[in-house]
Amino acid sequence: MRLPYYPGCTLYTKAKPLNETIRSCFNIVGVELDELPHWYCCGTTFTLARDNRMSLIAPLRILTKAQQEGKQVLVPCSICYNTLKRANFIFSEDREALDIINEHLEEKYDGKEEVIHPLEFIRDNQDMIRNKLKKPLSGLKVGCYYGCLLLRPAEEMKFDDPESPSIFEDFVRLLGGEPVEFALKVECCGSYLVVNTPDAAVNASYKVIKNARENGADALVTTCPLCFYNLDALQTKIRQQYPDFKDMPIFYFSQLLALALGVDENGLQLGQNRVSPEIVLKKYGLL
The only residue of 36, 62, 129, 148 in contact with other proteins, by rule CB under 8 A: 148
Of 41 and 100, which has the nearer Cβ to other proteins? 41
Per-residue CA distances from 239 to 33, 182, 209, 244, 266 (Å) = 40, 21, 12, 8, 29
The only residue of 3, 6, 7, 15 in contact with other proteins, by rule CB under 8 A: 15
Binding mask 94-133 for other proteins (x = CB under 8 A): ----------------------------------------
Of 15 and 268, which has the nearer Cβ to other proteins? 15
Segment 194-223, which members bind other proteins (CB under 8 A)? 194-197, 199-200, 203-204, 207
Enumerate residues 6+ apart whose C-beta is below 8 A from 2: 31, 32, 33, 34, 70
The only residue of 33, 44, 242, 272 in contact with other proteins, by rule CB under 8 A: 44
# chain residues binding other proteins, by CB under 8 A: 47
Nearest Cα neighbor of 45 from 194, 161, 171 is 194
Enumerate residues 6+ apart whose C-beta is below 8 A from 185: 143, 144, 145, 146, 165, 168, 208, 212
**How far is the C-alpha of 183 from the C-alpha of 143, rounded, in Å?**
10
Mapping DSSP to helix (H, G, I), strand (E, B) and coil, where does residue 283 land?
Answer: helix
Of 117 and 141, which has the nearer Cβ to other proteins? 117
CA dihedral 206, 212, 214, 218 (to 10 degrees): -110
Nearest approach, Cβ of residue 191 and other proteins (Å): 4
Segment 150-179, which members bind other proteins (CB under 8 A)? 152-154, 162-163
Structure letter (DSSP) for residue 275: S
77 forms part of the interface with other proteins (CB under 8 A): yes
CB-CB neighbours of 166 under 10 Å = 14
Buried b (16+ CB within 10 A) or exposed e, 198-213: eeebbbbbbbbbbbbb
- Interface stretch with other proteins, choices 2-10, 94-102, 113-121, 132-140 (CB under 8 A): 2-10
10 forms part of the interface with other proteins (CB under 8 A): yes
- Interface stretch with other proteins, choices 106-114, 169-177, 187-195, 278-286 (CB under 8 A): 187-195
Residue 153 φ/ψ, nearest 5 degrees? -75, 135
- Cβ–Cβ < 8 Å for 91, 63: yes
Of 226 and 281, which has the nearer Cβ to other proteins? 226
- Interface stretch with other proteins, choices 88-96, 119-127, 182-190, 235-243 (CB under 8 A): 182-190
Mapping DSSP to helix (H, G, I), strand (E, B) and coil, where does residue 28 land?
Answer: helix
Residues at the interface with other proteins (CB under 8 A): 8-10, 13-15, 41, 43-52, 55, 77, 79, 148, 152-154, 162-163, 186-188, 190-197, 199-200, 203-204, 207, 225-226, 228-229, 233
